[in-house]
Amino acid sequence: MHTPYDPTLWQGRIDAEEGALARRWHERIQGLNPDAPAGVALLGFASDAGVARNHGRPGAADGPVAIRRALANLAWHHEGHVYDAGDVRCQGDELEAAQAELGRQVAHLLADGHFPLVLGGGHEIAYGSFLGLARHAETQARVPTIGIVNLDAHFDLRAGARGSSGTPFRQIADACAANGAPFNYLVYGISEPGNTEALFHRARELGVQWRGDEDCGRENLEDLLDALTFFADEVDWLYLTVCLDVLPAAVAPGVSAPAARGVELAVVEALIDAAKATGKLMLADIAELNPAFDRDGITAKVAARLAWRLAR
């Protein structure tokens, strides 16, 4: 279920005449080994089983490969180490097993001092990512409180006997309740037409904080950043998850459910920077890239730019 780093994905231009300062990602990325110094560790989650269960458009299982290929040729402006830790692959409909394996891999990376940057894959990625962070939290002398910041057009709080790309944060809320832990969840970009009243009711019941897509314009950026800062002040660790369908369809067409309105890329980048600036960001993932519907690779390029920003 876990497959190792594939160096053939990291190909690109080489500007040998420009010297060492002209390096690109494909020249700097390394396969992760047990003795590697702490760094950013890319981990793919090749799954669209949750999207299929949620009656969406399959194809997101190919997202991690597409993001790597788009990252490969980007200019290197980073310090420290960046590794490719391979992929967790969902076999058929075995989503729960894949999420458990993702949790194990994330916890292992955190224990070794790495910053896991998980590349998806459907938004069922979020439950697996959280399992890993929660598992790592349990190894601490004092169990830290975790806050989740989601950039997304949807709450993903659906009910249902089986998990899907629409249920991960309800599953996390259930896990928190079972363990007597608080459920701290802040969402930016909620589309009112894209979420039923039942989901808004569940969000209120669970104490979710959110900002709608109509309130996530640049003119509101100061308020958005203040809300993130206040949220981060109340927790010990942050987990940031970016669903690419938070962006306008013109910017991110290659997703299961393209957004009619969305949140502009500049605002998404500012929120990512603010999450990093808290000093509490432990884990991030990028979800819902579907190369099968990605016109000219636009969405993969946007996802790579966000991964680039998170790794810098």
* Nearest residue to 39 (alpha-carbon basis) of 110, 87, 137: 110
Name which residue leads in pLDDT, 22 or 139.
139
**Taking residues 88-105, what's their average pLDDT?**
98
Q: pLDDT exceeding 90 applies to what percent of the chain?
A: 95
Looking at residue 304, its pLDDT comes to 98
Could you tell me which CATH class the domain 2-311 is placed in?
alpha beta
* Nearest residue to 172 (alpha-carbon basis) of 247, 280, 99, 63: 99
Q: Return mean pLDDT, the chain.
A: 96
Cα-based angle 171, 311, 146 (whole degrees, multiple of 5):
30
Residue 87: enclosing H or E segment and its boundaries?
strand 82-89
**Taking residues 79-104, what's their average pLDDT?**
97
How many angstroms separate the CA atoms of 252 and 299, rounded?
5
Question: 261-291 burial by CB neighbour count: b if 16+ within 10 A, else e?
Answer: bbbbbebbebbbebbbebebbbbbbbbbbbb
Q: Is residue 1 pLDDT above 90, yes or no?
A: no
In tens, the pLDDT along 12-31 reads 999 888 888 889 999 999 99
Q: Is residue 206 pLDDT above 90, yes or no?
A: yes
Length of the chain in terms of residues written:
312
Q: Which residues contact 141 (CB under 8 A, 6 or more apart)?
A: none
Looking at residue 109, its pLDDT comes to 98
Q: Is residue 241 pLDDT above 90, yes or no?
A: yes
pTM of the model: 0.97
